[in-house]
Chains A and B, each alone.
Chain A
């Protein structure tokens, strides 16, 4: 009996563990190893200890770029939480009341999530093109031409524009998760509260939100990991250099650029690139662990 159970465990967990080891653990360990060596072009040279890390923190422009990129990751996280997840919660609450066409809205909100990110990035880059793009054209038609600007080329708007596009793409996902969470709240609880004289807001505040905490935990964690691993959308829409003038630079782009080089612009520096990768991994691991513990603590069990 016990042996057969063990075999089942191996059978089900084995493939996942093999894949995880081959595609996650091994690359992380090799990045860690790479970060401790000197590099000559793509050739590995002698062991240098923490020299790459020292170079990363002490030399211009790397130290500044690192702080700049990290700060952008933080901004992406905060802005996505506010823009995407708060909106999603609002939409979920509205949808949960089953307004006319709720099913249709659910599909509409979820549609962009199913589009390939490459297509989303490419389309929005076209919409935002300052010469023939839809966005500036519509603004001009609405007599708001003064608002027309190079959205992706202006250092003050570029990052925020990317965040909005990203939120547009992902909005449906937290909406569905929150909606499922709200629908899972037993009807009796809500009725009991209503009988006790609770208004709409009190029901939301005292009954729904506390029971939604597990869904919030998942969404906050996923948003966090997504924000700190953010790569695809800025890469597709702005290229690898975090243009303009590093205004959309994030840690993953900085890593990619230093480890693999910018085509026709920069050279590879695998030592520094690996050091950034190691740093990102440590950061993500530490912050997710702390976040998970903190968020779990405030979850309420359905008794």
Chain B
């Protein structure tokens, strides 16, 4: 009886005043947009207040892990996708979701929902918030000055690069100091050469490995681009890459669709568009690597489960998706959102023929992850100390620690 009274009384007291939810995220730069979105939610749900609390991206995982293991943590959690979600979901820290609780999720694409699923039990643990695609940005003004247009096949691409270099323009802003930017580059260049989703399916089922010449030859194509990067590109970090493209000192930038908003905000006069990595032969539609960027989840231990679910449900609504896309210039995961930004619309069109971003979707489920292995090996390859075959060997060998089909290969 005593216990009953003790557990009931706080809830009753809460009934009078609004429920306060905290929402943790690593998107410090998006706080303004989330604050506006939350306002819209609060107007519709006067009993619920949501506070958006962002942390530095590089420290977010550490802070979140310690809070959750200590039995605390926010009510609503911004989670990464795939293996990054599983880390928190598999030990039971995240509330399970399903189509009954959140019927809105039924309309989401399967590929995106797979990024919100834990492999352990196949259950959903979040509402996907955005989809990202990997593309090549180009400066339209520089292209026009040199009488160039977006290339249709690989040879044309190399000709464009050569022409720019001969005219004294740095063709590619990309560098190799940060391994992940090289993995992104491989995500842009390689799928057309390894055969996109067919190879992804084969390798994730264990029918082949990364030693497959189809894969290593695809990686070798990245070496074609080396002469068109800065002579000291191995020392060029991500920020320098961005600055080179934003300040129109480089004609192209191989990167992800998340850059659009940032590029526009940094240089209003920058006239740019995107194209997909050109395939070997013109006429074949190019593959575009894409993936679920992350999810909104609910803390399994939140005392305000109903309110938190209500908010999560809101993030799955068309209204949320539209606000998200309009404000942040990113493709919302909510289906049917109208894209007004012309560059983003272009991304959306290209990603109709999308293929899963190899390591993130397929091999980031346990440590050592495919990304960890690939990123440092690619630094070796781009610096000329490793061959593409050695990269394939290393990745396969490293993954065999937890991916059984690779054992003994």
Q: A interface vs B, CB < 8 Å?
A: 40-43, 55, 59-62, 125, 128-132, 136, 148-155, 239-246, 258, 260-269, 272
- Residues in A with CB closer than 8 Å to B84 are 264, 267
Indicate if the CB atoms of A266 and B367 lie closer than 8 Å: yes
Is B267 interfacial (CB-CB < 8 Å)? Answer: no
Indicate if the CB atoms of A149 and B401 lie closer than 8 Å: no
Indicate if the CB atoms of B367 and A244 lie closer than 8 Å: no
A60-B401, A261-B87 known; A268+B61 contact, CB < 8 A? yes
- Residues 251-297 of B at the A interface (beta carbon under 8 Å): none
From B80, B87, B371, name the one whose CB has the most chain A CB atoms within 10 angstroms: B87
CA distance A264 to B359 in the complex (A): 11
- Residues in A with CB closer than 8 Å to B366 are 267, 269
Indicate if the CB atoms of B235 and A150 lie closer than 8 Å: yes
Indicate if the CB atoms of A130 and B380 lie closer than 8 Å: no
- Residues 32-75 of B at the A interface (beta carbon under 8 Å): 57-58, 60-62, 65, 68-69
- Residues in A with CB closer than 8 Å to B20 are none
From B234, B236, B373, name the one whose CB has the most chain A CB atoms within 10 angstroms: B234
Residue of A whose beta carbon sits closest to that of B239: A129
Interface of B, secondary structure class, is helix
Is B90 interfacial (CB-CB < 8 Å)? Answer: yes
**Which of these, A150, A258, A267, contacts B234 with CB under 8 Å?**
A150
Is B230 interfacial (CB-CB < 8 Å)? Answer: yes
Indicate if the CB atoms of B90 and A43 lie closer than 8 Å: yes
CA distance A40 to B119 in the complex (A): 12
From B62, B235, B380, name the one whose CB has the most chain A CB atoms within 10 angstroms: B235
Indicate if the CB atoms of B91 and A263 lie closer than 8 Å: no
Residue of A whose beta carbon sits closest to that of B397: A60
**Which of these, B89, B234, B364, B371, contacts A153 with CB under 8 Å?**
B234
Task: Output the least CB separation between A277 and chain B (Å).
Answer: 15
- Residues 380-408 of B at the A interface (beta carbon under 8 Å): 380, 383, 385-386, 394, 397-398, 400-401
**Which one of B5-13, B171-179, B336-344 is at the interface?**
B171-179
Question: 6 new A-B pairs (CB below 8 Å) besides A266-B367, A267-B365?
Answer: A61-B394, A241-B376, A243-B379, A263-B60, A266-B371, A269-B366
Indicate if the CB atoms of B383 and A260 lie closer than 8 Å: no
Indicate if the CB atoms of B90 and A41 lie closer than 8 Å: yes
Indicate if the CB atoms of A268 and B236 lie closer than 8 Å: no
- Residues in A with CB closer than 8 Å to B92 are 43
A-B contact pairs, 22 of them (CB 8 A): A41-B86, A41-B91, A130-B230, A131-B230, A131-B244, A132-B240, A150-B177, A150-B236, A151-B235, A152-B177, A153-B175, A153-B234, A154-B234, A245-B377, A262-B372, A263-B57, A264-B80, A265-B371, A266-B367, A266-B371, A267-B83, A272-B367
- Residues in B with CB closer than 8 Å to A136 are 232
From A125, A130, A149, A244, name the one whose CB has the most chain B CB atoms within 10 angstroms: A244
CA distance A273 to B19 in the complex (A): 39
Task: Output the least CB separation between A242 and chain B (Å).
Answer: 8
**Which of these, A153, A239, A260, contacts B176 with CB under 8 Å?**
A153
- Residues in B with CB closer than 8 Å to A41 are 86-91
Task: Output the least CB separation between B284 and chain A (Å).
Answer: 31
A151-B235, A263-B57, A266-B368 known; A244+B177 contact, CB < 8 A? yes
A130-B230, A268-B65 known; A245+B385 contact, CB < 8 A? yes
